[in-house]
Structure formats: structure tokens, C-alpha cells
Chains A and B, each alone.
Chain A
């Protein structure tokens, strides 16, 4: 069984953080696709155009990685919008942030995030989480890809 192609959609305003995430995903061999945007607005635009010529392919399985502190639309608002949109709420979301405030973590889980990881990232743990999520994702996404 070949791993299903997954595209990681990272919203992160810090270039360094974005680069680190990408490097670790690549090193773990998990990356088929990687797309980085600079804030929540861009990410939502990207998801909204999925399936159109300039957007992501419709069959692509997506995992969203969200920073919280971002200009324009922040991570929590982005999460809320994704999870309250019937077309998007199946998309797994990993929160990647510098805050380990329990209230913030609770809020993200309440809003429906799948994994919450605190930066500075222990990349070993980070990759494990991604792998588990990938497995879960394959199971979840299979009927959909079958149809596609």
C-alpha cells in the first residue's frame, strides 16, 4: 500500500519557522506537496480556490498547519472558519504555535483542531504526530479518493 499523497498547507508569517517545518517534513519523507502561505486570509483563499485551475487539485489530501499569531486573520479565526465550513471541516488541522497556554490549547480543541503542537518544536514528536495523522488521514480519505 503506497502512502497516499498528502499536501501540507502551512500558514506561517515567520520565514524561519516555515523553513524549519518544511525541512523536517522533507527529512521525514512525508512531503508530496508543500505549500506555504503567510497568513490566515491567504490560507482561506487557497482552500476556497481548491479545484480551480490556479488552486490545489481537488483530489489532493490536505493537512493544514496553522500558526496562531499572524497578521490579518490569525490562526484561531482561520481554524474556526475551516471547521464551521461544511466543505472544509473534514480537513485535518495541526496547530503549531509558540504558546502553551492551556486556555489557548482548550480553545483550539474546542474549535476542532486535530493536533496542537507547541513551538519550539521537538521535531521528532512533530513528525510522529504527522505520521499518525497521515495514517488516520488515509483511512478517512480513502472513500473520497476512490470516488475521485
Chain B
């Protein structure tokens, strides 16, 4: 069964009930007091009755005494009759007295003495009266002279006095008791009033604490909810307020849960936006690179085209002139002129046209190489660089000897790379170092390893190719790895693709390439490559097969 709940109604009833209870008590006390008063009054009246009755009895006895004396002295029957009626009245009063004293055994005992005295008197009367009837007046007078009657009367008067005294004392005692109880009741009432006021005040305070303070807490909680703050524990109790606060807590929990969800969504959104921004930046960069690439390529393709176009026009003009020269008859002069034309205006254009065609073809080859470097499938493994570099240096022996250069190979690490790609990288770098040596001083080329942290790479293997050649001006350093950028165009033949190619290959291996240089002193090219498959972005053996399958499906 459900335990009884202390609802607000019950608490209110309790607060109202306490004074009501006191009032009931108060009324009870008043009623009792009234009752006590009535009782006391009744008892007072009763005492008075007893005393009156006592007086009446005594009066009858006195009357009967005087009647008896009169009858004895006069013998007049009238007195005898009066005596008889007085006796009868006394007997009635005695009987009444017994009734009055029924509730008081002590006074009954006292009164029994009085009654027996009276009885003795009555007996005496009867004896005396009987003497008179027997015409013994002298005997009767003698009885009276004996003062039996007088002695008896004094005795009775004393007894009655004592009885009256006791009765009055009893009456006083009762009145005293009534006053005492009345006093006590007054005190009780005052004390009760004070206690009632105190209890009422306490109940009021407790009620306002209980209800008011907790209602206030609930109101504060609603404000907290609107502000999205944490709620304190549910207010104590099992009444409607506690229930309301419990519901508020449930609501607050729901709200904070949805706020949390909202925050999660927002964070996700921000993450996505950041990713998008990064991707956009990356795309922008790629776009710029492509634009730059297209710009360079178109420029470099146009240059030989200008020659092709211009010199073919020149050839056309030479042809026209030759045609004119040989239009009519051939004179020695025109022969001389024609020879000169062929030497100058035909040979030179043909040379330039051939050179332009060769250049166009080599540019296209270079573009194809670069394009292949982006597409070629690498088969990476752990490559010992020392033999690779030794092989390259050996193959370049001729050029090295021609420019009287010294090449030093320090110890080299192994890297995670495609062997052919590794060879391509170092062949380009070493080839460049030889090509751009300063002819005014003996060339010194060093190839070795350096231990350096590289941004975006975990424990890379970094090699360098250092020369004491022409060097690169600071303004050109950023362009070094761009396609078709040739700083020393007149120093060596080439398309300006080598370093672009190196960068492409290295970056596809997850590596970095950069240069430090001082114009007139020499350059150092650095290549950082992954040390093992774990840090390489290139697929291992198994994924490669997969990619072939995917590609085959796509095709």
C-alpha cells in the first residue's frame, strides 16, 4: 500500500487543527467550570437547607417543650394537641433531614446523635404526657421540675450547634475548594492561551518555511531553467511542490540534453566547415599552381612557335624574291644575289625552324615525363641510397671530368621509395649541381645525410646535395621548383622541368624537397623521404593489387 503523502492540504489542516484542538479544550474547561459552579451552588443551597431544617427541627422541639410544660401545668388538652402536632412536624422534618443527609455519611453520624437525643426527648414527652393522661399531674410536674427537659434541651442545643458548625465548616471548605479549582483553571487557561499562541506562531513559521521557502526554490529553479543553469537537488518533501520541482528537473534534464545535442551538432558543423575551408584553400592553391603551370607551358610552347611562324614568313619572303630573281633570264648578278639570299635568308630561317621544332618536341617530351611522374605506379621498398648515388656519379663521370669537379659521397641512409624514382631524384639533383657549377672555380659537390625535423613528417631520412656553384638569388628561390623556370638559361641546356619533376616525385613519396642557397657561393638541395612503409603514403604490396583491380573496373 502506498504510504500516506503529506500533501499541502494535510499540512494546512494540521496548522488549522492545532488551534481548533485548543479551542475545544478551552470550551471543555469552561463547561467543566460552569458545572463546578453549579455544583458548588447546589451544595451551598443544600447546606442552607440542612441548616434551616436543623433550625426547624430545633424549633419544633422547643415548641413541643413549651407545649408540654403548658399542658402539664394547665392540663388543657389544646396544648396536648399542639404538642402532638409539633411532634409530628418534628418527625416529618427529621425524615426530611435524613433525606437531605443521604449523601453525607459524616453528618449522618452527627445527625444520628441529634436524632437519638430528640428521640429521647420524645420518649420523655410521651412518658410525661402519659402521666397526665393517667391524671398524675404531680408526677408530670415533678418530671419537669427535675429539669430533665431543660438538661436535655441544653444538650440538644449544644449538639445542634456542633452539627451546624460542622455543616458550615463543610460549606466553607467546599467554597475554598471551588475557588482553588477556579484559580487553577484560570492559570490553565492563560497558559493554554500562551501555548496556543506560541504553537500557532510556530506552526505559521513552519508552514511558511515548509511551503513558502520551497515554493521560492521552485520559482528560482524555473528562472535557472530559462537561463540554462544547473539545478540544485530536488526540494525535500513528498507534496505537490516536491512533485512540481521533480517535473521541473525532468524538464531541465531534457533541455540540457537537447542543448548538449545542439552543441554536438554545432561542433560537427564547425568541424565540417573547417574541413571545407581547408579543402577550399587547398583547391585554391592547386588552382594557382595549375594556372602557373599553364602560363609557363603556354609561354614556353609559344616561344618556338614564334620562331616557326616568323621564319616561315621569312622563308616565304626569300622564296618570293628568288622567284622574282629567276623570273626572266638568269644574270650573273641575280645568281650572286640568289646565293646571298640562300645563305642568309633561307639558311638561317631553316636553322631556327629546325631548332624550334626540336625545342617543341623536347618540351612536349618533358611535359610527358612530368605527367608520367604524376601517374606512374611506384613499387616502394627499402632502398639503399649509397649504391644508387654511386651509380649516378659513375654515369656522370664524363661531365664531372669536363668541369674538373670533385664529388664526395658521405654515408647515406636507406629510404622507403621506388628504386627508379629514387634514382630519378638524385640524378636530377646531382646533374643540376654539375651543370650549374661556377666555371671560375673548381667545383666541389657533396652528397650526404643530415638529421633535421621536417614539417609534416615523422622521423624522415634527409639527404642533401651540396655544390659551390652559381647559387640562386633570393628572389628566384620560390620559383626554383616551378616548371619551365630557368634561372641560368644560358649555362646549360634543358627545359626547366628537372626540379619540378623532382618535387613531384618526392611529394608523391610523402617527402619534402627544399633548397638553401647563396648567390655566387652555391646551393644545397635537401630531400626528405620516409624511412619505412609506416610513414609512407604510398600503398604497400597488397593495396597496390587492389588499386589495379579498381582501375581495371573503372576502365
A residues with CB within 8 A of B: 13-17, 19-20, 23, 27, 38, 69-71, 98-99, 101, 119-121, 123
Contacts and interface: CB of A to CB of B under 8 A. Distances in A.
Given A99-B299, A101-B295, A123-B313, A20 B306 contact: yes
Contacts of B348: 19
B269 interface: no
A134 B489 CA distance: 33
A19 B490 CA distance: 17
B352 A69 contact: no
B303 interface: yes
A38 B489 CA distance: 10
Contacts of B356: 16
B295 A120 contact: no
5 contacts: A20-B306, A70-B489, A98-B298, A98-B306, A120-B302
A98 B303 contact: yes
Contact of A14 (B307, B309, B487): B307
A20 B314 contact: yes
A12 B307 CA distance: 13
A122 B305 CA distance: 13
Contacts, number: 57
Contacts of A15: 352
Contacts of A17: 303, 306-307, 310
A13 B313 contact: no
Nearest to A20: B310
B310 A16 contact: yes
A74 B375 CA distance: 34
6 closest cross-chain pairs (CB), A and B: A16-B307, A20-B310, A98-B302, A16-B352, A71-B489, A120-B306
Contacts of B355: 16
Contacts of B304: 16
Interface string B362-392: 0000000000000000000000000000000
B311 interface: yes
A116 to B, nearest CB: 15
B486 interface: yes
Interface in B262-309: 295, 298-299, 302-307, 309
A119 B302 contact: yes
A14 B488 contact: no
Contacts of B310: 16-17, 20, 120-121, 123
A120 B299 contact: no
Nearest to A70: B489
Nearest to B296: A69
B490 A14 contact: no
Interface of B: 295, 298-299, 302-307, 309-311, 313-314, 317, 348, 352, 355-356, 486-490
A23 B307 contact: no
Contacts of A123: 310, 313
B285 to A, nearest CB: 19
Contacts of B298: 98-99
B487 A71 contact: yes
B486 A71 contact: yes
Contacts of B487: 71
Given A38-B490, A71-B486, A99-B295, A14 B303 contact: yes
B303 A20 contact: no
Contacts of A121: 306, 310
Contacts of A38: 490
Given A101-B295, A120-B302, A20 B307 contact: yes
Contacts of A98: 298-299, 302-303, 306
A71 B490 CA distance: 8
A27 B320 CA distance: 14
Nearest to B352: A16
Contact of B488 (A27, A71, A99, A119): A71
A14 B306 CA distance: 10
A76 to B, nearest CB: 12
A17 B306 CA distance: 7
Contacts of B311: 16, 20
Contacts of A101: 295
A55 to B, nearest CB: 22
A13 B306 contact: no
Contacts of B317: 27
Nearest to B301: A98
B309 A120 contact: yes
B299 A69 contact: yes
Contacts of A120: 302, 305-306, 309-310
A13 B302 CA distance: 14
A23 B314 contact: yes
Q: Which of A16, A17, A98, A123 has the largest count of B CB atoms less than 10 A from its CB?
A: A16
Given A19-B348, A101-B295, A119 B486 contact: no
A22 to B, nearest CB: 11
A45 B317 CA distance: 36
Contacts of B299: 69, 98-99
Contacts of A99: 295, 298-299
Contacts of A69: 299, 303
Contacts of B303: 14, 17, 69, 98, 119
Contacts of A20: 306-307, 310-311, 314
Nearest to A23: B314
